[in-house]
Amino acid sequence: MARDRGALDSWAEGEGEPLLLIRTALSAQHLVPLAREPALAEHFRLLTYDRRGYGQSPPLQGPGSLEREAADAAAVLDDLEADSAHVLGDSYSVAIALELALTAPEGVRSLILIEPPPVLAPGADRFLAANRKLLDSVESDGVDAALEEFLGALSGPGWRSEYDGVVPGTSRRITQDAPAFFTADIPALLDWSLDAERATRLEQPMLHVAGTESGPLFATVHDWLHDLFPHVRTVSVPGAGHDVSFTHPAEVAAAVAEFLQQAGGAEVPRSDPV
């Protein structure tokens, strides 16, 4: 593993066309199972990093900002000597991927958007209200209590053992990184905007990956995304929820590899469609 020692803790593994995996909010380990899949690990140069406020990267200074997140992602590409890359975002980091493509389009060959947050989709009121309630819980009860409230509702009371069973140490990292999630990531997402005029500037090939069991909060994301980007292709993973890349990495990796073969000419084995 070649590890960069720049401003953000970033690293690269493998050989082939570069694929930047932008880590999502709260769970820095969320994309680890996906990065281990042979369909990606054996055919691409995988780039990733700990976002500001996470892991060994510098602490946060000031409020969260998706514009700053995009600038950080562009700096990582430069630090890891990638003039351009395919870019994958998952949940919160979909917004980072889109902002990166808007602000540095020459650096983005294609976009993989896994379970985009419904913050801008029609009917987002429930999603916005849930996030504001979390911020109220942090204010009244503290980060630890808000974390248990959030992940207990999302994955059940046994979330720690469930997550650690997939990637050991995940629950410890989540607890360590939770302040960045509540103080920067959620406010940044609530302040984010992507209107039709900005969206028309994004012409890169796009893949949207969704779980069929993501629930009602995400029900309108597909249509919203296709209204903004008529050229986007959607692959749905049966039986998967919002954490599809963590729970169904083989299916997601197969879909991503096939898409990249078509979008960027990457030489990877074809697989049956998901």
Q: What whole-number distance in Å separates Cα of residue 30 and Cα of residue 151?
A: 14
pLDDT band at 30 (very low <50, low <70, confident <90, very high): very high
The answer to whether the CB of 216 falls within 8 A of the CB of 72 is no
Residue 272 has pLDDT above 70, yes or no: no
pLDDT tens digits for range 170-211 = 999 999 999 999 999 999 999 999 988 999 999 999 999 999
> Confidence class of residue 52 from pLDDT cuts 50, 70 and 90?
very high
Single-letter amino acid, residue 107: G
Phi/psi-derived region of residue 165, left when phi > 0, alpha when psi is between -120 and 50, beta in every other case: alpha
Among 256, 253, 200, CA closest to 86 = 256
- Per-residue pLDDT, averaged over 207-234, amounts to 94
Could you read off the pLDDT of 109-119 as tens digits, one per residue? 999 999 999 99
Residue 274 banded pLDDT, cuts 50, 70, 90: very low
Supply the pLDDT for residue 273. 43
Instruction: Give the other-Cβ count within 10 Å of 236's Cβ.
Output: 17
pLDDT for res 58: 87
Share of the chain above pLDDT 90, in %: 77
Task: For residue range 120-148, list pLDDT tens digits in order.
Answer: 999 899 899 989 999 999 999 999 999 99
Q: What is the pTM of this model?
A: 0.91
Binning pLDDT at 50, 70 and 90, where does residue 63 land? confident
Task: Give the ranges where 123-169 is alpha helix by DSSP (H).
Answer: 125-141, 143-155, 159-166
pLDDT classification of 264: cutoffs 50, 70, 90: low
Say which residue the tokens 């958007």 belong to: 113
pLDDT of residue 265: 55
Helix (H) or strand (E) holding 207: strand 206-211
Euclidean distance between CA atoms 101 and 98, whole angstroms: 5
The secondary structure element, H or E, covering residue 20 is strand 17-22
What average pLDDT does the structure give for the chain? 90
d(CA 168, CA 182): 23
Predicted local distance difference test score (pLDDT) of residue 61: 81
Residue 1 binned pLDDT confidence (cut-offs 50, 70, 90)? very low
Given this model, what pLDDT does residue 195 score? 87
Q: Report the distance separating Cα 227 and Cα 217, nearest Å.
A: 18
